[in-house]
């Protein structure tokens, strides 16, 4: 074990605990959550809760204002009104909630802000040269300020993995601090790109570094690198959040992103959050899913729980 130290302006030296993670134990513990079985009303509650934690996302080179506006429409009203009316005939049906946020590239923020005005849905933007993060810090800061100016209420930034792997932890730390300052009132989610960090030890170290630097959330992945979110990696990050909370009293949010495509997986993640951090974290303020295709499966499973039959996929808009 060797600790890492960094310096924060005005606060002096900060010690980042750094120690080896038992990979086998982490894998086994994470695997245990996939064996949880939730039935009937509790399952329905979990499906509704998961919808409220979704960051509905489009991050493609062919994104257009029209596509973003369509996605925002789905964020506000996930189910067509006619189908919603039909479902209201069932006593155990509850109105489908809105998602937590819509996540877009910075140049698409103005269109999302216009489409989501008055909805209460957060506008998240991937800034800081997403997904590679390979630009000078002044350009990254400018990117963040521009996104916030145009309406972003949340910023998803990527760390400099090259600097991290070289052991330049102060550089990684300083960039997060500067981006956090540029966010103003917007919340900051720090993407570790865990698929490139390779080991659980590095995942924990990067998690702690991000939290000390001011992250409101720590996030697994950009969704552009494989593997993206996995349950063992997420567990390591959740345990880092738990330890950080016990040491500082600060509650940091968690966002697994990429690869979570169905309701069964989402419920496994919720079980893991509940058993690791407790019910306080089962809220959009502290837990998110970075996904888009997940929403349709959550809706499909809700309709199955309510009606006893599956609705065909095309009944919901395809993203």
Is 8 catalytic? The answer is: no
Residue 59: φ, ψ to 5°: -135, 65
Q: Which residue has the tokens 């989610």?
A: 189
Catalytic residue (one of 140, 180, 255, 300): 255
What CA–CA distances, in Å, run from 173 to 9, 90, 177, 200, 217? 11, 52, 6, 19, 15
B/e letters for 142-165, b = 16+ CB within 10 Å, e = fewer, are ebbbbbbebbbbbbbbbbbbebbe
Give the C-alpha separation, 93 to 44, whole Å.
Answer: 9
Say whether 304 is catalytic.
Answer: no
Distance, CA of 301 to CA of 188 (rounded, Å): 32
Cα–Cα–Cα angle for 120, 123, 129, nearest 5°?
170
Largest CA distance in the chain: 62
- Sign for the pseudo-dihedral over CA of 239, 244, 247, 251: negative
Cα(74)–Cα(97) distance, integer angstroms: 11
Which of the following is catalytic: 74, 178, 189, 219?
219
Rounded Cα–Cα distance for residues 22 and 278 (Å): 23
Pairing of strands 154-158, 101-104: unpaired
Does residue 255 have an active-site annotation?
A: yes
Q: How many CA atoms within 13 Å lie on the side-chain side of 167?
A: 5
With 0-12 / 13-18 / 19 or more C-beta atoms within 10 angstroms meaning exposed / middle / buried, residue 310 is exposed
Considering the candidates 156, 160, 174, 216, report the single residue annotated as catalytic: 156
Residues marked active site are found at 156, 219, 255
């Amino acid at each position: 074990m060797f600790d890492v130290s960094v310096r924060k302006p005005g606060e002096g030296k900060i010690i980042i605990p750094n120690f080896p993670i038992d990979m086998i134990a982490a894998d086994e513990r994470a695997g245990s959550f996939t064996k949880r079985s939730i039935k009937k009303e509790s399952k329905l509650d979990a499906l509704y809760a998961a919808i409220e934690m979704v960051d509905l996302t489009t991050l493609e080179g062919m994104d257009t204002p029209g596509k973003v506006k369509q996605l925002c429409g789905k964020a506000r009203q996930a189910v067509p009104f006619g189908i919603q009316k039909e479902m209201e005939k069932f006593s155990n049906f509850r109105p489908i909630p809105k998602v937590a946020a819509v996540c877009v590239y910075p140049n698409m923020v103005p269109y999302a802000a216009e489409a989501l005005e008055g909805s209460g849905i957060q506008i998240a933007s991937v800034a800081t040269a997403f997904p590679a993060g390979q630009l000078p810090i002044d350009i990254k800061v400018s990117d963040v300020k521009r996104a916030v100016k145009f309406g972003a209420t949340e910023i998803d930034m990527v760390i400099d993995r090259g600097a991290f792997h070289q052991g330049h932890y102060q550089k990684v730390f300083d960039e997060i601090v500067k981006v956090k300052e540029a966010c103003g009132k917007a919340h900051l989610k720090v993407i570790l790109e865990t698929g490139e960090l390779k080991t659980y030890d590095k995942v924990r170290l990067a998690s702690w570094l991000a939290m000390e630097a001011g992250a409101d959330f720590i996030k697994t992945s950009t969704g552009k690198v494989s593997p993206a979110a996995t349950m063992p990696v997420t567990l390591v990050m959740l345990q880092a959040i738990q330890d950080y909370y016990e040491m500082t009293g600060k509650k940091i949010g968690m966002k697994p992103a990429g690869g979570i495509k169905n309701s069964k997986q989402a419920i496994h993640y919720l079980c893991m959050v509940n058993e690791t951090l407790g019910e306080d974290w089962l809220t959009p303020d502290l837990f998110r899913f970075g996904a888009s295709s997940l929403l349709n499966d959550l809706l499909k499973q809700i309709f199955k729980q309510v009606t006893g039959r599956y609705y065909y996929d095309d009944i919901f808009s395809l993203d």
